[in-house]
Structure 1
């Protein structure tokens, strides 16, 4: 099939709506930001209360200099690095992480290190990588196709960007006035407002927002695209990092840090390799310093129990069959309905994948073979890259 024919309607849909029109159609949302001087413990509590995994970070209280985004993985990176300095280093992550491959260093030191870091400012744990593009009020006439292409698929410096932040000087109604950027248009930061004027983040648009937009308007994507399989579209998935369910959570997170991936596939055992769950940054939602005590437990138990035990608000991913443990009941007839683990295959259609990602609020789907073993992963970046060309 000709790619241009398959994707033409999707690109026309994205090109028909400007960013300003899209934002006007969305309900208002409060944007939470943090500063480099804020105590990490305070920031984590704020993240937990607002159900966030990331927020824009500024160098000062007046918010005149934007530094980038702080996310929960930055905290994990800081804890893992500091814990490794306390003793022998753990092995570098491979395509599959063995449950017997950890020296126990992370499990022994992570909780103590996390408590120490909690009393330090955010500047002590900032990672060097950024995860957002900047857009100014004067650029809101850009189409969603341009947003996808230049914001998520081909950002400046080829950094992986999952968010787009809309800025304007605080209290200014003149779009994009008195903003100083280094390095050219669309720079990722640092970015400073002239004359000490603060910077206000008015909106944050994510890859998930773009995917939900596509799903909402799927009738305009065309039946050819919706009915095409992943294999036909060339979306055969990237290499997957797998961890056994009996591996400690902190070791699985360390594997994510080393491999620079936002998620790992959780398999029942190294022998059978069947996918039973996944661990991602989203599963860290609600993370507090005290929770690092629990991260020494097996990742399978962590996911099956729904994450942090004392956090009634927390709703994590569930392993297959874990719903009985969650609700404390054994009778199958009494079990509430829980959707099966979301996966796809190479013969899954684009429409099926789009519905799963949007309906379950997921950032990726693992591609499994006929035995349920993960053989690839398809992310939102892959979907948007396909559409952007």
Structure 2
């Protein structure tokens, strides 16, 4: 079978590579961002926005009284990961504690987000449920075969899912840490994709030109999760989180595919921006991407100059403005 031969050739090309080979293309520069358990949600959102990332390791920093002892701690204790999805779940739980049912009216929901969002932003990160720390490796293990890391770390060893239609639990990044507990590097799924894409001719060969339908991929049996273009964006994300997906197609009332909504659309969101999550999904995406969806456009929206949308890379590029921090 042609596709099997192409897969075998790609595996053979990837076999000599190690995780260390991917490190030079990892996104970001300088020291790895870590968030401390005592930091607030608001502080964390601002830190993530400055780095333009969606997640970071969560650590317990040594207490001041521990630093003066004869044997001071060597470094922070790693708790796991905290990401934008964890903060969004926390926000939804906070709102439900106030209202058993989330408001569906845009203006009412926007008022709640702008009011309660400020309260929520002062919550410490340790009160949120973060991700597991199973995607961790000692720095000395950077020489592990890349294929083994992909299988055992990113894909969790291919373990069984909970339920016939459950979505496999995967890790979106792998962190390397030293003997002192400090994170020295983070390799994400995107970093691996970028690494392979830049060498697609050598690593993938004929596989790169094949349609997905020929690859024999194990398509999920879970039902497709779609969101209505006119529903409030926060409620759309609520539906996605409940279904365990990070992205979903946006459909019109007639069932036409309009766009795609992803957790990555919340990159650079800050506490004072939370009110925009009350906007209809189509309007939110139209403003974010500077385009038009179902009659919603950047020109016709009262929120077109909102700081969240004004700070989007596309908006700044169109106006010849430097990127934040650039």
Query: Where on the TM-score scale, by shorter chain, does this alignment land: which range?
Result: 0.7 to 0.9
Q: 1:160 matched to which residue of 2?
A: 170
Aligned: 1:310 with 2:307: yes
Match of 1:64 among 67, 76, 79: 76
Q: Which residue of the partner structure matches residue 48 of structure 1?
A: 49
The reply to whether residue 123 of structure 1 matches residue 126 of structure 2 is: yes
Unaligned runs of 5+ in 1: 91-100, 171-198, 317-322, 329-389
SS of the aligned residue for 2:50 comes to helix
CA distance in 2, matches of 1:19, 1:139: 8
Q: Does 1:250 align with 2:234?
A: yes
Once the two structures are superposed, residues 254-283 of structure 1 have per-residue CA deviations (whole angstroms, 9 ceiling, x without a partner) of 11121111112112x131x22222111111
Matched-pair contact (CA < 8 Å) for 1:131–1:162: no
Secondary structure, aligned partner of 1:8:
helix
Output the CA distance in 2 between the equivalents of 1:116 and 1:25.
39
Q: Deviations over 1:238-267 (max 9, x none)?
A: 443211221111111111121111112112
* Cα distance in 2 for residues equivalent to 1:25 and 1:289: 31
Kindly state the Cα deviation for residue 157 of structure 1 after the two structures are TM-superposed. Answer: 6.8
Give the number of the structure whose residues are more often helix, by fraction: 2
Runs of at least 5 residues in structure 2 that lack an aligned partner in the other structure: 63-72, 161-168, 290-304, 320-326
User: How many residues were matched structurally?
Assistant: 279
CA RMSD of aligned residues (A): 2.9
Q: Distance in 2 between matches of 1:122 and 1:157?
A: 29
- Equivalence map 1:371-386=2 (5 Å): none
Change (3 A) 1:25 1:276: closer
Deviations 1:64-108 (A, max 9, x none): 311111111111100111211222335xxxxxxxxxx94778556
Q: CA deviation at 1:310?
A: 0.9
Name the CA distance, whole Å, in 1 between partners of 2:112 and 2:137.
41
Query: Using the alignment, how far apart are the partners of 2:266 and 2:56 within structure 1?
Result: 14
Distance 1:39 1:25, change over 3 A: closer
The 3-state SS of whatever aligns with 2:31 is: coil
Partner SS state of residue 227, structure 2: strand
Is the Cα–Cα contact under 8 Å of residues 48 and 287 in structure 1 kept in the other structure?
yes
Query: In structure 1, how many angstroms separate the alpha carbons of the residues matched to 2:214 and 2:207?
Result: 10
Q: Any idea what the Cα deviations from partners look like across 1:121-161, whole Å, max 9, x if unmatched?
A: 1112x225437600112212211111111111234977421
Contact 2:229/2:250 (CA < 8 Å) preserved in 1?
yes
CA distance in 2 between counterparts of 1:26 and 1:298 reads 35
Q: How much has 1:116 moved relative to structure 2?
A: 0.9
TM-score (structure 2 length as normaliser): 0.76
| Counterpart position of 1:283 | 265
Q: 1:6 to 1:286 in 2, by over 3 A?
A: same
Equivalent residues in 2 for 1:323-362, closer than 5 Å: none
- State the match for 1:224 in structure 2: 206
